[in-house]
Amino acid sequence: MTPVSYYLVLGAVLFAIGVAGVIMRRNLIVIFMSIEIMLNAVNLTLVALGRALGSADGQVMVFFVMTVGAAEAAVGLAIILAAFRNRHTVNADEIGLLRW
Amino acid sequence: MLINLLIDTAKAIVAVLLVLNLSAVLLWFERKGSALIQDRIGANRAAIFGIGRRLGMPNLGVTNTFVADPLKMFTKEDFVPDQADKFLHALAPFLSLFPVLITFAVVPFGDRLIIGSRVIDLQVCQLDAGVLYLLAALGVGVYGAALAGWASNNRWALLGGVRASAQMISYELAMGLAIIAIVMTFGTLDLQDICRQQGSVWFGWLPKWGILYQPLAFLLLFTAGIAETKRIPFDMPEGESELIAGYFTEYSGGKQAAFMLTDFAEVVLVSALVTTFFFGGWQVPYLHPDGLHFPGVGPILLPNLIVALLGVVAFGMKVVFFCWLQILLRWTLPRFRYDQLMYLGWKVLLPLGLLNLAATAVVIVALG
Amino acid sequence: MGVGVFAFLGTLAVISALGVILQRSPVHSLLALVATLLALSGLMIGLGAVAIGFLQAIVYVGAIMVLFLFVIWLLNLQRDPGEPGRLAVKFFGAIAVAALVAELFAFFVRAPMSPMETSSSYGSVDRLADLIFSRYLVAFEVASLMLLVAVVGAVAVARRWPGDEARPNGAVGADRPVLQQARRA
């Protein structure tokens, strides 16, 4: 059997990759995808910890994270679409109307 | 340990080979059958030394379909458009064929076979969450057509890819709702278990097949399944009068053969699913593990080998029947318009599926 | 699950996750993300969470990623041109990420972990459904309501409203004087 800490480390590495994507990339869609990576890294951690603690509640949390992820993707992509229609770009640096 | 591995491998290989061969036979049947329907002759060119003609037999186009055409396909130039995304262009045919083939892993094609002390379940992979696996594999199947259209860098192909993926995810909803109704009825996600539960009889003579519980779900699953195969009347993704050949416009040779094979493997898959969920799978009416029990007649005992074989043959015959039905439909109906397709998927099948689900839930609660 | 399978799926997940953030073409990023998600769902199934693992594949790969693909097509996103002049951000970003990895790594490696539970019912659909429809029923209902709100919101935001075409270059707020003043200011 693989120890739980391996899964946690893998989750941490994936989460960090997601953070790196958000920081380094300027394409809104790719930033969004990096957020999905982070969500899923957390999902893996929840499942692994649930297994270690012998409780299925972790899986229920993953279930809700997936639900929220779906809603977030729908709304987020709609926002990206609307922003693209108005500014003709998906570069996060060029969409700065509300920034002073 | 090793023997188990061998048995599993053998089951997997047999299942995949059966599907691929049935797909090839379907291709032949489609060519000759459509010719029959449209009062043509159909495939009749290639013959081996004209043996059949000398014996006075009509040319059935067997050599044509099984030897000449595959040879032609695989020796053709593998053309890749100049501006295409080379990697994805090569990946897409396999991404489209692979999910369909792996789906057959959870479809049971027979009851238990007992050899000595060894019990072999005639299903490639016994999985408690078989239905979820099925839906997951179907979901992954969208990418083949979508990426084929995108990677070709051809606007018709892209339109075909967009249409294909939109159509597939729309009809997956109706399909999922129909399957959920079946899961509620039988109370399990394991396809083998669903088959087993359809083995008993009502009133001593009526086999408890799924279609008697869920006739509406059968119509939903069959319609949505035909839409998933992207064949007429749902063939907007490749509609040749609008989009040349849709998402596989820019494919030739072996890769195009992979797309054709996917089409027919999907036809077989839909037939296998309909058979498993609604027509008892490998169940033969009145056949129990120890022999035939006709109502009112004493049991006729049969050895396990015969019973298992009868089950496999019954499953095969049911699957072939539904394949035949689909090909008949394909050559009988005209193509929908795209808005009609979306209307059917979202405003007819989806509400019907939800209603069916609610009705099923009410009945289950009422019956305790 | 054996260490070998874990190593394979884990490596696949990390490599394809790196692919997501390093690829120039959004479609390639998306495919890499699909590979990551499939590897993760494999890992979850290996952990015994069969239902969740397959749901992950159905929901993320079968639905959400197709939505991403549609949006990428709709916006006609080609390869990103390089992003010059952002070296500082990348540099400090890399340092921050490295620190994060090191911190999480140190934390998790030293975390005392009891041996894994081996009950065969851990990830079964029954057990999950029992929890969702009893203890977490309210959360479940709220989640379904949230999905409904999200769908309505997404349609409202993404839809072209009547009169959108009339705006010069479709600029936002052309018909709203306050915004126009704000832009001029």
Q: Which amino acid is at C30?
A: L
Range of the domain at B122: 79-366
The pLDDT tens digits of the residues spanning B119-174 come to: 777 788 888 888 889 888 888 888 888 888 888 888 888 888 888 888 888 898 88
Q: Residue C111: pLDDT band by 50, 70, 90 thresholds? A: low
C114 vs A contacts (CB less than 8 Å): 52-53
pLDDT above 90 covers a percentage of chain B that reads: 8
B293 within domain boundaries: yes
Whether residues C125 and B189 touch (CB distance < 8 A) is answered with yes
B265 within domain boundaries: yes
Looking at the fold, whether C25 and C106 belong to one and the same domain comes out as yes
Listed range (B23-32, B291-300, C49-58) with the worst mean pLDDT? B291-300
B13 within domain boundaries: no
> What tokens were used for B289?
């593990």
Q: Residue C117: pLDDT band by 50, 70, 90 thresholds? A: low
C64 touches chain B (CB under 8 A): no
> Which residue reads 């997940």 in tokens?
C13
Would you say residue B355 has pLDDT above 90? yes
C167 within domain boundaries: yes
C23 within domain boundaries: yes
| C-alpha to C-alpha distance for B69 and B63, rounded to whole angstroms | 8
Residues 71-90 in C contacting A (C-alpha not used; CB under 8 Å) = 71-72, 74-75, 77, 80, 83, 86, 89-90
CB A42 within 8 A of CB A15: yes
> Which residue reads 């090569």 in tokens?
B90
B169 touches chain C (CB under 8 A): yes
What number is the average pLDDT over the span C78-95? 68
How many residues can be counted in chain C? 185
- Name which of B94, B103, B131, B140 to mutate to probe chain C: the one with the most chain C Cβ atoms within 10 A of its Cβ: B140
B71 within domain boundaries: no
pLDDT given for residue A34 in this prediction: 92
CB B145 within 8 A of CB B230: yes
pLDDT given for residue B2 in this prediction: 81
Q: Which amino acid is at A62?
A: V
> What tokens were used for B216?
């509406």
Please report which helix (H) or strand (E) contains residue A36, including its range.
helix A28-53
Q: Residue B110: pLDDT band by 50, 70, 90 thresholds? A: confident
HEC assignment per residue over B180-209: HHHHHHHCCCCHHHHHHHCCCEECCCEECC
Spell out the domain ranges in chain A.
4-87
In C, minimum Cα distance to B153 occurs at C78
pLDDT above 70 covers a percentage of chain B that reads: 98
Q: How far is C172 from chain B (nearest CA, A)?
A: 29
Q: Which of C57, C124, C125 sits opposite B139 (nearest CB)?
A: C57
pLDDT given for residue A99 in this prediction: 66
In C, minimum Cα distance to A41 occurs at C40
Among candidate residues C120, C145, C171, the one where a domain is terminated: C120
Packing angle between helix C26-46 and helix A4-24, nearest 10 degrees? 160
- Name which of A37, A49, A79 to mutate to probe chain C: the one with the most chain C Cβ atoms within 10 A of its Cβ: A37
Whether residues B136 and C61 touch (CB distance < 8 A) is answered with yes
| C-alpha to C-alpha distance for B363 and B301, rounded to whole angstroms | 37
Would you say residue C181 has pLDDT above 50? no
The edge-to-edge listing of strands for the beta sheet with B291-292 is B287-288, B291-292, B300-301
CB B170 within 8 A of CB B163: no
B277 within domain boundaries: yes
Query: Which residues are B202's β-sheet partners?
Result: B206
C93 vs A contacts (CB less than 8 Å): 20, 23-24
The pLDDT tens digits of the residues spanning C21-42 come to: 888 888 888 999 999 999 999 9
Q: Which of C59, C97, C117 sits opposite A51 (nearest CB)?
A: C117
| C-alpha to C-alpha distance for C34 and B91, rounded to whole angstroms | 14
Top pLDDT among B121 and C109 is at B121
CB pairs < 8 Å spanning A and C: 243
In B, minimum Cα distance to C123 occurs at B129
Range of the domain at C104: 3-120
CA C82 to chain centre: 24
- Selection from B238, B94, B86, B231 nearest residue B159 by Cα: B238
B158 within domain boundaries: yes
The pLDDT tens digits of the residues spanning A6-59 come to: 888 888 888 888 888 888 888 888 888 999 999 999 999 888 888 877 778 888
| C-alpha to C-alpha distance for B312 and B11, rounded to whole angstroms | 13
What number is the average pLDDT over the span B81-88? 82
Q: Residue B358: pLDDT band by 50, 70, 90 thresholds? A: very high
Which three-class secondary structure state does DSSP give residue B333? coil
**Sign of the alpha-carbon torsion through C3, C4, C10, C11:** positive
Count CB neighbours of B286 within 10 A.
17
B34 within domain boundaries: no
Would you say residue C45 has pLDDT above 90? no
- Name which of B87, B96, B102, B133 to mutate to probe chain C: the one with the most chain C Cβ atoms within 10 A of its Cβ: B133
| C-alpha to C-alpha distance for B100 and B77, rounded to whole angstroms | 26
C50 vs B contacts (CB less than 8 Å): 127-129, 132
- Selection from C61, A22, A79 nearest residue B139 by Cα: C61
Whether residues C61 and B140 touch (CB distance < 8 A) is answered with yes
Among candidate residues C93, C120, C147, the one where a domain is terminated: C120
CB B348 within 8 A of CB B171: no
Whether residues C47 and A85 touch (CB distance < 8 A) is answered with no
Whether residues C62 and B129 touch (CB distance < 8 A) is answered with no
**E-strand stretches of chain B:** 112-115, 118-121, 201-202, 206-207, 287-288, 291-292, 300-301
The CATH classification number of A4-87 equals 1.10.287.3510
What number is the average pLDDT over the span A64-75? 90
| C-alpha to C-alpha distance for A65 and C55, rounded to whole angstroms | 12
C185 touches chain A (CB under 8 A): no
CA atoms within 13 A on the CB side of B175: 24
Greatest pairwise CA separation for chain C in angstroms: 66
pLDDT given for residue C180 in this prediction: 46
Whether residues C131 and A57 touch (CB distance < 8 A) is answered with yes
| C-alpha to C-alpha distance for A4 and A58, rounded to whole angstroms | 14
C62 touches chain B (CB under 8 A): yes
C100 vs A contacts (CB less than 8 Å): 12, 15-16, 19
Query: Whole-angstrom distance between the N-terminal and C-terminal Cα of chain A?
Result: 54
| C-alpha to C-alpha distance for A18 and A30, rounded to whole angstroms | 10
Looking at the fold, whether C21 and C104 belong to one and the same domain comes out as yes
Would you say residue C173 has pLDDT above 50? no
Q: Which amino acid is at B196?
A: R
Whether residues C62 and B139 touch (CB distance < 8 A) is answered with yes
- Selection from B195, B178, A56, B15 nearest residue C50 by Cα: A56
Top pLDDT among B51 and B349 is at B349
Looking at the fold, whether C145 and C58 belong to one and the same domain comes out as no
Would you say residue B327 has pLDDT above 70? yes
> Which residue reads 């509400």 in tokens?
B351
| C-alpha to C-alpha distance for C55 and C49, rounded to whole angstroms | 10
Q: How far is B130 from chain C (nearest CA, A)?
A: 10
B54 within domain boundaries: no
Sorted by sequence, the CB contacts under 8 Å of residue A98 that are 6+ apart come out as none
> What tokens were used for B307?
């019973």
Chains C and B touch (3+ CB pairs under 8 A): yes
CA B129 to chain centre: 20
B129 touches chain C (CB under 8 A): yes
Would you say residue B55 has pLDDT above 80? no
Would you say residue C172 has pLDDT above 70? no
Would you say residue C177 has pLDDT above 60? no
> What tokens were used for C21?
């953030």
Would you say residue C86 has pLDDT above 60? yes
Sorted by sequence, the CB contacts under 8 Å of residue B330 that are 6+ apart come out as B30, B231, B232, B233
